[in-house]
Amino acid sequence: MGILERVKSTVLSIRKSLKRFPLTILISSLLAFLLIYLIESQLSGDIKETVEKIALVLGLGIPLSLCISLLIEKFNRKNSSYSLLLFVAGGLFLIVYYNFFLDNKSLVAAYRYLATLIFLILAFIYIPRIGKNKDYEYYILDVLQSFAITFIYSAVLYIGISIILVTIDQLFDINIKSELYLYTFFIIVFVFAASLFLSKLPSIEREYKDIRYNKSLTVLLTYIVIPLITIYTLILYLYFAKILLTRQWPRGLVSHLVLWYSTVSVGVIFLLTPILEENKIAKLFKQVFPKIILPVLLMMFLSIYKRVAQYGITENRYFVIVLGLWVLATMLYFSIKKPLKNILIPISLSIIVLVSVYGPLSSFSVSKYSQNKRFEKILLENSMIVDGSIVPNENLSKEDQREISNIISYFDRNHNINEIKSLPGGFSLDDMERVIGFEYRPHFMADFEEYRHFYYSINLEEPINIEEFQYFVNINSWQENELQVGDLILQYNRQENILTISKGDSVLLQQDIIVFVKDIYGRLESDAENRKNLLHPMDMTYDISFLGIEDNIEFRFIFKNISGRVDEDDNINLDSTEFILLIGYR
């Protein structure tokens, strides 16, 4: 087929998609032009917020209208009343969502929006095959192939247009606005790509009889992906054996090591299903792996339990628990059920996604309940609740002060402080010392709550005096190769954070860098009111002298940047550092 014929075929396919999914393409196109208008008009205030909310609703409208169209095709394509009812229901849903779920830019609103979008996308990939127990995997592969083709076509088109714009700009000095490239991207993604992808979407009636499984995909899954998963599983088993031997449980790491790899493994078994009977490697993997992974999942749940016991449930931990339970249930299903009905996998996942953000069992409801219980427990353990009111206590342990501050910080960032039931009405952060008895000092934690992160850097615009020194050496903690400086050899050990300076067979200096870091951290963190990250070089400078029989050497350490973490016991862990070492002979 020639180029012109391919172009003609693509255009005809897009025309076909316009007839099949007119509303979806219309909404997608409106979103593209609305985004362009939003940037070009430079709106602000309430008007900007309103347009942004409309754009977000249109974003949901794309997969929602697609799902409705597929439902009409699937169940009653000739009944106009049925079709009208579904589209009206869809429109009402978007109106309700606009008015009640996009009222702010909180974390809750963001999670709900993302989860709703994921639900609609999952629904789109299983609605057409409901009631068909066979060949669901082939349908998914067909959809993925359509997406891949659309991605390649769109990428080539965008790159081509961008090159043309750059060429015109450079040759004719037209000064093309940089925003034009972004506008081009919007149009290609939401108009061209959406239309092309929908044009290649398999029809409801599509059958996959006598279809041979893609040979390249078979080789990829059986000879590359399965061995990699097997090796990773072996590494995890060895890692867990180390945990049992050393009895040192890793902090917040196990769930991340296990969760995504097990989720990917679900997808691999899903794709292997059509060739289980003819491919021995695939069959063996499907029979053995769902059982082998169960102890790994058990270790993951033990790790999560330790985190929840210490810090309660938050949205992120809730999602890890729920996704872990879904993986566990899926692996048990793979172990027991024959033959597999893999359409249940996206259906069950989509239901879990919805439950996790809406209703009394949502991540938000469960997390707020858990953190409220933690807060109340700490107060009761310290006899701070008398007749239902909080009694201030300035003598709380450092750990309890940190926990109370972090719980309040959690509600302040993710929800509302007034949702802490034990606090008096109208409580604000300024009331912390008066109501609770100590200053509000939260530690903004990421996944590893026990760590407080710090970073310091010098102001490089300030001059550094090096007139008394002969050598200027730049050293960073991620390079451990030896450096020859005159007759001295410098070697940095990243594991122990020690700089060794030797001459011949003699060691002149072994300097523990952590000593300097502790001093800098202690000086800066003790002055909370004047805490800063950009420092004068003199604030990060240390001098050390070596007095020898033959040589008297001065070493000056000037730290350019330092980043690290402090755990719950105030132990400093250095992540990286870069410093200047000045060397002078006297």
- 121, 161, 346, 360 from 118: Cα distances, Å: 5, 31, 11, 20
Mean pLDDT of 457-475: 86
pLDDT tops 60 at residue 445:
no
Flag the least confident range among 4-8, 84-88, 447-451. Answer: 447-451
Share of the chain above pLDDT 70, in %: 92
pLDDT tops 60 at residue 451:
no
CA 126 to CA 343: how far, in whole Å? 7
Whether the Cβ atoms of residue 567 and residue 448 lie closer than 8 Å to each other: no
Per DSSP, the chain holds a count of helices (H) and strands (E) of: 18, 12
pLDDT tops 90 at residue 569:
no
Q: Give the pLDDT band (50/70/90) at residue 169.
A: confident
CA 241 to CA 233: how far, in whole Å? 12
pLDDT tops 90 at residue 443:
no
pLDDT tops 50 at residue 74:
yes
Flag the least confident range among 30-39, 222-231, 401-410. Answer: 401-410
Q: Give the pLDDT band (50/70/90) at residue 402.
A: confident
pLDDT tops 60 at residue 449:
no
Residue (of 511, 504, 474) closest to 489 by Cα position: 504
pLDDT tops 80 at residue 408:
yes
Using one digit for the tens of pLDDT, what is the confidence trace for 146-162? 999 999 999 999 999 99
Burial class of 175 by CB neighbour count within 10 A (0 to 12, 13 to 18, 19+): exposed
Looking at residue 138, its pLDDT comes to 92
Looking at residue 135, its pLDDT comes to 85
CA 153 to CA 247: how far, in whole Å? 54
Looking at residue 71, its pLDDT comes to 92
Query: Can you list the positions of beta strands (E) in 147-270?
Result: none
Looking at residue 338, its pLDDT comes to 78
Share of the chain above pLDDT 90, in %: 56
According to DSSP, the β-strands at 552-566 and 572-585 are antiparallel
Most confident of the ranges 37-46, 71-80, 360-369, 497-506? 360-369
497 three-state secondary structure: coil
Flag the least confident range among 173-187, 294-308, 525-539. Answer: 525-539
Q: Give the pLDDT band (50/70/90) at residue 447.
A: very low
Domain-by-domain residue ranges, the chain?
3-199, 215-343, 364-435, 452-585
pLDDT tops 60 at residue 448:
no
Using one digit for the tens of pLDDT, what is the confidence trace for 104-142? 667 899 999 999 999 999 999 999 998 887 789 999 999
Please give, one letter per residue, the 3-state secondary structure of 243-286: HHHHCCCCCCCHHHHHHHHHHHHHHHHHHHHHHCCCCHHHHHHH
Q: Give the pLDDT band (50/70/90) at residue 8.
A: low
